[in-house]
Amino acid sequence: MSLDQPLDIERAFWSSSGDQDFYRTHVAEEGLFVLSMGVMNKEEVVAAMGGADPWESFEIGNPSWVPIDDHVVGLVYEARARRSAGEAEYRANILSVYRRLEMNWQLVLHQQTPLQP
């Protein structure tokens, strides 16, 4: 099983912050996001992306895969991101679970644990 596509999609989530169409396409209908402000479903996340500022820079550090079955994988990594040059860096441990349907991967669960600066 090639894991290049889900990792590319994960990178694109960071670089496409604010792009509602990207989120509509790549998040499963039952997808959930577990964030510091609470749990959000797909519709809530897509709506939130409409007003989100893009990340100026981001880094996915030490990505590791956890195979769950032939069609589901978990991606674990440390994220470092910054919205603008003057802002503090955002750091978090991330877990994203992807499911493959035919040849397409979709995000079904995304969880962020912010790290102290």
pLDDT for 93 equals 98
User: In order along the chain (117 residues), what is the average pLDDT of each group of 10 residues?
Assistant: 82 90 96 96 94 91 94 97 91 97 94 91
Domains in the chain (CATH in brackets) are: 4-114 (3.10.450.50)
Cβ-in-10-Å burial (0-12, 13-18, 19+) of 23 comes to: buried
Q: Model-level pTM?
A: 0.92
- Measured CA to CA, the distance from residue 20 to residue 26 in angstroms comes to 10
At residue 113, the pLDDT reads 97
Burial 66-76 (b: 16+ CB within 10 A, else e): eeeeeeebbbe
Helices (H), the chain: 4-15, 20-26, 42-49
> For 83-111, how does the pLDDT look when each residue is reduced to its tens digit (9 = 90+)?
988 899 999 999 999 999 988 999 999 99
